[in-house]
Amino acid sequence: AQSVAQPEDQVNVAEGNPLTVKCTYSVSGNPYLFWYVQYPNRGLQFLLKYITGDNLVKGSYGFEAEFNKSQTSFHLKKPSALVSDSALYFCAVVDTGNQFYFGTGTSLTVIP
Amino acid sequence: NAGVMQNPRHLVRRRGQEARLRCSPMKGHSHVYWYRQLPEEGLKFMVYLQKENIIDESGMPKERFSAEFPKEGPSILRIQQVVRGDSAAYFCASSSTGNNQPQHFGDGTRLSIL
């Protein structure tokens, strides 16, 4: 069965510092991995995806994610955090039936 | 706005009433997904539909919940005889081909049961 785990409910980082939001996955077959961001009272917005190719995927708003097959991880990163990055972040994996499995989310707070 | 449109944004119902949530997918998208989000929880998949067909309803409660995506008009998530536990945010997403393409989400309907 496909699943993702986001081990941290909450991540705090100072503005200007690098940020990492962690995600590990469990899939049978090739993983298709996604990151989404959710702002208050809004739907999820697509940030980036990994299907195949380079392990470092670049996405919207300066975010990137590193696919690590040996560690079954797909951590979201940004070199320099902004206060406006404060939001809820979801990792997701897709199975062969195109069903998305979302993690429980990580709340990111960027401290001015 | 060419995005996924959900209405109403907020819906209040009394126990025992029916709730109808509507979703118009992005233009050109024929795949629709419904999710439920509870506080402190992630998104839980409910149902995946294509035009006039239910592809996967493994996340739908067996009773009281139904979904449709007719040939014409929006997709409808229907909850009959609502109970307090149905209070949640319900999100609709759509995609074009369904082949591992990103899903585009609406802003959700927040259902409150009195």
Give the tens place of pLDDT for each residue, B38-87: 877 788 999 999 988 999 999 999 999 999 999 999 999 999 999 999 99
In this prediction, what percent of chain B has a pLDDT beyond 90? 77
**Percentage above 70 pLDDT, chain A:** 99
Per-residue pLDDT averaged across A75-104, rounded?
Answer: 91
Q: What is the mean pLDDT of residues B104-109?
A: 95
Give yes or no for B42 touching A (CB within 8 A): yes
Q: What percent of chain B has pLDDT over 70?
A: 97
At A96, the pLDDT band (50, 70, 90 cuts) reads confident
Q: Bridge partners of A45?
A: A37
The span from the CA of A14 to the CA of B5, in Å, is 35
Ranges assigned E (strand) in A1-112: 3-5, 10-14, 19-21, 24-26, 32-38, 44-50, 56-58, 64-68, 73-78, 87-94, 100-102, 106-111
- Chain A interface mutation, best of B29, B50, B100, highest count of A Cβ atoms under 10 Å: B100
How far apart, in Å, are the Cα atoms of B86 and each of A52, B101, B114?
39, 29, 10
Q: What residues of A are in contact with residue B55 (Cβ under 8 Å)?
A: 97
pLDDT value of position B99: 66
Mutation choice for A interface testing from B29, B43, B112 by most A CBs within 10 A? B43
Name, in order, each residue with C-beta under 8 angstroms of A54's C-beta and a sequence gap of 6 or more.
none
Strands B10-13 and B109-113: parallel
d(CA B96, CA B12): 32
Using a pLDDT cut of 90, give the percent of chain A over it.
78
Q: Taking 70 as the threshold, does the pLDDT of residue B98 lie above it?
A: no
Q: Which of A68, A44, A38 is nearest to A54 (CA)?
A: A68
To the nearest whole Å, the CA of B113 is away from the closest chain A CA by 18
- Phi first, then psi, for residue A84 (nearest 5°) are -70, -10
The three-class DSSP label of residue B98 is coil
Q: What is the pLDDT of residue A54?
A: 87
Asked if the peptide bond before residue B61 counts as cis, ω within 30 degrees of 0, the response is no
SS3 category, A49: strand
- Name which of A45, A14, A29, A24 is nearest A108 in CA terms: A14
pLDDT (0 to 100) of residue B100: 74
From chain B, pick out residues whose CB is under 8 angstroms from the CB of A104.
40-42
Residues 6 or more apart in contact with residue B12 via CB below 8 angstroms: B111, B112, B113, B114
